[in-house]
Structures are given as C-alpha cells and as structure tokens.
Chain A
Amino acid sequence: MKKLLSLMLVLGMLISAGSALAETVTLKVWGSQDDQVMLQEMVEAFKAANPDKEYDVSFGVVGEGDAKTKYLEDPEEAADVFAFANDQLYDLLNADALYEVTINKDAIVEANVPSAIEAASSGDHLYAYPITADNGYFLYYDKSVISEEQVKTLDGILEACSDAGKKMFMDVSNGWYIASFFIGAGGELGLDENGKQTCDFNNEAGVAAGEAIKAFTAHEAFLTGDDSILTGGIGTTIAAGVSGTWNAEAIKEKLGENYAATKLPTFTCAGEQVQMASFAGFKLMGVNTMTEYPEEAMALADWLTNEENQLKRFKMRSIGPSNIKVMENEEVKADIALSALAEQSKFAVSQKDVLGNYWAPAEAFGTTMEAKDYSKDIQTLLDEMVAGITN
C-alpha cells in the first residue's frame, strides 16, 4: 500500500513538473513608442535569466500618458505589465486595476527613492514598481545669453531675453506647468476625506500668483506653445525654456556649448521673491489584475525596473532612474539635465493627489492669460477655475 502511494506521489510530481515545463506563459507588455526596442532587449534578457519557463511576450505601443485610458477601455485586453504616469494611480486603483506588490516588496522599497515609493503607494500598500523619477521639469537656458546671476530670477531671465531680442518659453496654458506659480506661492491641491479634490488657488496667495502669471504672459519676451516650438527655436529665437528631461537630447544638440540647465527661478509674488515649485512625476510599472499569470507578470515587472535595467534605461534613453544606487552612478550625476532636475526636486510636490478634473480648468486659466483676455478680473477667473477643479 505504501509503495503504491509513494509511486503515485512520484508520478503526480512528475506529471505536474512536466506540465509546468510544457506550459507557455503569455504576457503582453505596454510601453511608449520610443521604448519599444529597449523593452524588447530587456525582455530577451529576462527570458534568458528564467529558462525554466517558456515565455511568449508580445508588445503593444501605448504611451505612459495613455495607459489609463487604454486600460479602462477594455481591462481584459490590456497588457499584463504596463507603464503609466503616477498621476493615474488613483484612477487605476479606483478601477481595481493594479495588483498589490507583495512579493519582494521590501527589497523594492529599499532600492528606490522614498518619493518614488510614496508615489506608487496608497497608504502602506505598494501598488506599482517605480521606473523613473524624472518626470518633472526645470529650466534650460542658453549660457551665452543669460548669466548665472540672471537665471536665478524670472525677471532677470526676461530682461536678458529682451536685451538679446530672444524669448523665454513656458507652456503656461498647461495645468502641469502653471501649477509652479500657485504651488510656489503656497497653494495646495489635495484630497479631502471623501476623496474629492480640494484646491485653494483662489485665496490671497493664489491671486498674487495669478497676477504674477498675468505679468509674465504679458511680457514681450514671453513665448508659449508646445515642445516642438521649444526644440525648434532654442538657440535661435529662444534663449530659455521650461521643460523636462525628454527634450534634453534635442536641446543639447541645438545649444551645443551653450547648453545649460538649472532649477526654476524665483518669481515676484506680491512684492517678494518666491521660488517656483514644480510637479514631481514618476513613471511606474503596474501589473494588471486581470492577468492570467500574476506571479510571472510581477517577476517581469520587477525585472524591468531593477537596478540593472534602470541603468540601461539611462544609457539608452537618458531617462533618470528612481533606483538609489543608479542615481549614485558617475554618469548619471554628470548629466546636466538630471542634476537640474535633482536641484528642482527639492521644491517639487507629488502629483499623486491631482485628480482628472484639475487639468482643463487650469489650462483654461492659462489660455485666458496667454490670450491677454482681461475681461474678467483675476479673482473671478480663479474662483471659476477652482469651481471647475473641485467639481
């Protein structure tokens, strides 16, 4: 009897082992267009490091900004592992889209900067794997036009620009950038206990910031637009611009020796110099709750965001890492754009508590200022803006 039992046990084990060997794990990975080649290389390395299972990995092109929308359209069809921008975290959690990170959690928490971990968590629970910590913005400028002294204040920059007949670029009609004025002046965007958005941009400090924005956009050296305007005109018609690391290559090429980057300047707010704040954005990798192979997907996500691959990401795409050890790397430190970002990050706030309704009203306010439409006074405009944000 015993013999029979043990024989059956052995047989059972053999069969299950055999089926594990035969089983193919199909996974789909989403990444932005430019990341595709890099992701493919990383996945090949993953397969080589895990020879015990058969992996069939396919790729989809979905940028980090679109991840939430595409996911919600059809969660079943969405990728098992996808990259998303951290302001989408709450929306994804609302749709119960992300697996909580429970395997290897402590190691991940230790390896990445605290702000990145905070951005990927809700309370004590970690829901995604941090990829980058560089989705913020700072100031690029032309060394030959603007001196180090002038670049410290907004007025200085504008003066230097008009003297040289050039422009300063900032996409003010964009909720992401315009927040630097409000938050710098002390404004707060948060969530109340019901999860609804709170916003105090229409208080006194906010109005002062609004006045500063009005003065800024009315200045002759002010130029707005989107990134292609900046990369098209830097060096020739534009002497300074607010942007992030994604444009570093293009700007470096155009400015050559005159390439410089630093934290954002201070601006005049109700007579005083106030430092412009910024949003600290992170890119995170999440695991789809509808996946058929949760453990394997988590292992893949972990792999794609580990130290080795974050370094690789920096080398291939100049993307700033969130991994502490990689940040200590010599090359990373030497990168001008990333050091500017690091400087600015002291004044950066997390984007996590910004809900979807914030963007359009903020953009509306910026557009009105850029169009020099002063038919309503600042207080009224801000009141309307806040009403739209908190709706």
Chain B
Amino acid sequence: MRKTKSLRIPLVRMLPIMALLMCLSLLLPWVYIDVGEGALGYNAIKLLNSDVKLLNIKLPTILAVISFLLSVLIALKPNKKLLILQALLFAAGTISAVVCMLTAKELITASGISVRIFNISHLSYGIWSYMIISFVAVVINLKAMYEPVEYVALSIMASVWLLPIFWLVITSFRQEAGAYTPYLLPKDYTLDNFSRLFTETQQFNFPRWYMNTLVVAIFTCILTTSMVLMLAYTFSRLRFPSRKTFMNIGLILGMFPGFMSMIAVYHILKAIGLAKSLISLVLVYTGGGVLNYLIAKGFFDTIPKSLDEAATLDGASKSTIFRKIILPSSKPIVVYTAITAFIAPWVDFIFVSVIMKDDYQNYTVALGLYRMLEREHIYDYFTRFCAGAVLVAIPITLLFIKIQKFYVAGVVGGAVKG
C-alpha cells in the first residue's frame, strides 16, 4: 500500500533551519587558545584565517554551507533524489565533525600552541553542537522521506562490526613486521605477505596445510552429513525399543568438554594404527559432528508424516521413503549440516595439536596459524598470519553468502523446535 504523498513536507521545510543551525554552530567557538592572561575562543572563521592548522575545519564548513543551499532548494521544490543527496551531505557533515574531533589532539600538539582544555579532547561548544545538529538533521531527513530511521543505526553497527575485519585485511598487506604497532593504518603496502606464505615453506608450510585442511574438510563434510541424516531420520521416523534412551544419551554426550577426551582418543587411534594421519582427523571430526543430529531430527519432524504413510500404502520400504521423499525436501538442513561439518576442520586447533603432535607436514591451517602467533614467531609472522587468515576466510565467506538462505531455514526449522 504505497502512500500517495512520498514526502513529508513539514519536515522538509525544517531542513533549511537545521542547516542554518549548522552554519551558526560554526560561529560558536570550537577551541580556546591561551592568549596572555585568559583564553580566546576561536570559531570557524578565525580558524580558517589562522596560519597554523589547529583543526580540520575546512570540510565541516564547506559541508554546512552546501547543505544550507541545498536544503533551501529542496524546501522550495521538494524532490526525492535531492533529499537523498541531502541526507548524505548531513551524514558527511557528522562524520567530518567526528574526524575533526579525533584529529584535533594531534594537530594541536604539533602546532605547539597551547590550548585550554574545555571538554574532553580540548574542544568546545562549537564542534559538539555541529555534530549533534547534523545528526538530528540526518534523522529528520530520513523521516521526511518516509524512510526508516533504522538506516542510521544499521550503518553505525555495520561499520563497527566490519572494522576488525577491515583491520585484518589491511594488515595482511602491511610491510612492517610486528604485532603491537602503535598505529592503525600501515605505512607501506606490499603483497609480500601473501607470496611469502607460499614460498617460504620450510618453517610454515602453508600450501600443504591448506590442502590438508581442504581434503579433511571435504571428507568430514561427506561423512558427517551422511551419518547425521541417517541418525536424524532414524530417530524422527522410526520407532524401536530404547529409542528414547538413545536420544537422551545423544543429547547429553555433547555436554562433555571435548578436549578432555583427547588423550583417550589419541591412544585409541594409535591402537588402530591411525595416529598422526589425516584419516584420524576426519574420524575425530566426524565423531564429534554427528552429535548435532538433533537439529536435523527437528527438521525432519516438520515434514508431514502423511507423505510417509501414503508411500507405505503404495508399497515403498523405509529405505525408499528415506531416499525418495525425505531427502529431497530437506535441502536446507542438508546444506546446514554440510556447511557446519565443512567449516569444523578449518577452525579447530586443539584436536589437531593433540593428534598430530610433532608431525609438521600434517598440520591443518588452523593449527599452523595458531603457531604463528606464539611468542617466538609473532614479531615476524603477524602480517603473514593476517594474510593466511584472509586466505582461509575467503572461501568460507563465499560459501556462507551463497547458502545464507538455507542456513537460516535449516537452523530455524531444526534448532527451534528442539
């Protein structure tokens, strides 16, 4: 149901007032300079005129002025497209004020001029009012366009969430070594970190580990998925003695902290003769992964039993029902199980270190990356760690994005119903 009026005129008329207020806040003092006996407030005009750069004042000024002009134009002739531009301008204004505030300390200390501290970060009314007004302007602007205000919150949250990832990616291109650097952005960029991962393999054999992990992941995925489906179907559809007992046992088995059984598992594998091999990894991950059958079972429970009954009347055996009816309609949960099983070997570093011990060539990527952060190596290897992490994250991210829909449906269908 689309509203006929796509713009809220009263709010549109408020925008020029907001922009005007922004300009006025430029005239408020933004910073107080120590002058002889007292302190002199410097507002935007003075700051622009001063020889020494004390604040990054140019951008806020320009934005305020343009916003004012644009808002007047819009008030006279309301236009959706211009309103979007206006919203962006206001947002840019807020951001520029924030940037100004953040870079203030650096510039001021560099200039050598002593500054009286008023609020936090040595700054005064001007900049705070500018920030607040422009922020409110963004909100009003959005409301004027009948757009949800949530965009603001979402944008802020999205940036916060992505910041560490951004830092990870950018550090992987960093030239300088070291982990505890006092600055955020690298000084020099290079592709070396990536290439060195593949060329310097005597100590950290990244390519081999990547292949190891990939192979283990694929087999774990196949094995776990088949087993989980078998278990889930059995408990969902079949009725047999001690069914409830089995389910209860399966439920609580997952409660034990996994690594406690590490030693036992290692020795069992050794008795079979499989210790330190990739096969043992596959077995261990599968063994741990099958306990997630409850979610799949929950999903199967939602498939109507009437389909089963109809098929049985037609003479189908239980295994036929499984193959021809249940499996096709459970794509989401199959995908969910497969993806979860596939990801497990990439992220586990505890089990691998117990099973592989000192067999370097058979490590997985997770353990290798973890080792790079050990005390002796972290200085040299941190940037390469980031590069390796990026290389691991890319396939998983792509997978996730593609199957997002299935993942949600699978989890919701299964986990929620219990």
Check whether chain A touches chain B (CB < 8 angstroms): yes
Interface residues of A (CB under 8 A from B): 30, 32-34, 36-37, 60-63, 70, 73-74, 77, 79, 225-229, 231-232, 250
Interface residues as binary, B173-193 with A (CB distance below 8 Å gives 1, 0 otherwise): 000001111000000000000
The answer to whether A63 and B178 touch across the interface, beta carbons within 8 angstroms, is: no
Known contacts being A36-B202, A60-B359, A232-B180, is A73 close to B354, with CB within 8 Å?
yes
How far is A227 from B354 in the complex, measured between Cα atoms in Å?
Answer: 27
Which one of B181, B357, B377 contacts A74 once the chains associate, using CB atoms below 8 Å?
A: B357
Nearest chain-A residue to B363 (Cβ)? A61
Apart from the given pairs A33-B376, A231-B379, 7 other A-B contacts in the complex at a CB distance below 8 Å? A33-B377, A34-B376, A63-B376, A73-B266, A74-B270, A225-B180, A228-B178
The answer to whether B354 and A60 touch across the interface, beta carbons within 8 angstroms, is: no
B81 interfacial contact with A, CB 8 Å: no
| A149 to B: closest C-beta gap in Å | 32
CB-CB under 8 A from B358, the residues of chain A are 30, 60-62, 70, 79
Nearest chain-A residue to B275 (Cβ)? A77
The answer to whether A228 and B375 touch across the interface, beta carbons within 8 angstroms, is: yes
B378 interfacial contact with A, CB 8 Å: yes
B45 interfacial contact with A, CB 8 Å: no
| B380 to A: closest C-beta gap in Å | 10
B317 interfacial contact with A, CB 8 Å: no
| 19-36 of chain B: CB within 8 A of chain A | none
CB-CB under 8 A from B178, the residues of chain A are 228, 232
CB-CB under 8 A from A232, the residues of chain B are 178, 180-181, 379
| A78 to B: closest C-beta gap in Å | 8
B263 interfacial contact with A, CB 8 Å: yes
Nearest chain-B residue to A226 (Cβ)? B375
How far is A32 from B374 in the complex, measured between Cα atoms in Å?
Answer: 12
| 317-372 of chain B: CB within 8 A of chain A | 354, 357-360
20 residue pairs from A and B, CB less than 8 Å apart: A30-B358, A33-B203, A33-B376, A33-B377, A60-B359, A61-B360, A63-B376, A70-B358, A73-B263, A73-B266, A74-B270, A77-B275, A226-B375, A228-B178, A228-B180, A228-B379, A229-B180, A231-B379, A232-B379, A250-B379
| B371 to A: closest C-beta gap in Å | 9
Q: Which of A37, A70, A73, A79 has the most CB of B within 10 A?
A: A73
CB-CB nearest 9 A-B residue pairs: A60-B358, A228-B379, A232-B178, A62-B358, A61-B360, A228-B378, A33-B203, A228-B179, A232-B180
How far is A87 from B275 in the complex, measured between Cα atoms in Å?
Answer: 30
How far is A62 from B378 in the complex, measured between Cα atoms in Å?
Answer: 17
| B284 to A: closest C-beta gap in Å | 15
| B184 to A: closest C-beta gap in Å | 16
| B362 to A: closest C-beta gap in Å | 12
How far is A315 from B178 in the complex, measured between Cα atoms in Å?
Answer: 26
How far is A350 from B357 in the complex, measured between Cα atoms in Å?
Answer: 30
| B367 to A: closest C-beta gap in Å | 12
Nearest chain-A residue to B382 (Cβ)? A228
How far is A70 from B263 in the complex, measured between Cα atoms in Å?
Answer: 12
CB-CB under 8 A from A37, the residues of chain B are 202
| 152-177 of chain B: CB within 8 A of chain A | none
Nearest chain-A residue to B378 (Cβ)? A228
The answer to whether B179 and A73 touch across the interface, beta carbons within 8 angstroms, is: no
How far is A34 from B359 in the complex, measured between Cα atoms in Å?
Answer: 16
The answer to whether B357 and A77 touch across the interface, beta carbons within 8 angstroms, is: yes
CB-CB under 8 A from A231, the residues of chain B are 379
Known contacts being A60-B360, A73-B263, A74-B266, is A36 close to B375, with CB within 8 Å?
no
How far is A227 from B179 in the complex, measured between Cα atoms in Å?
Answer: 11
How far is A70 from B360 in the complex, measured between Cα atoms in Å?
Answer: 14
Q: Which of A79, A225, A226, A232 has the most CB of B within 10 A?
A: A232
Nearest chain-A residue to B181 (Cβ)? A232
CB-CB under 8 A from A79, the residues of chain B are 358
How far is A273 from B132 in the complex, measured between Cα atoms in Å?
Answer: 59
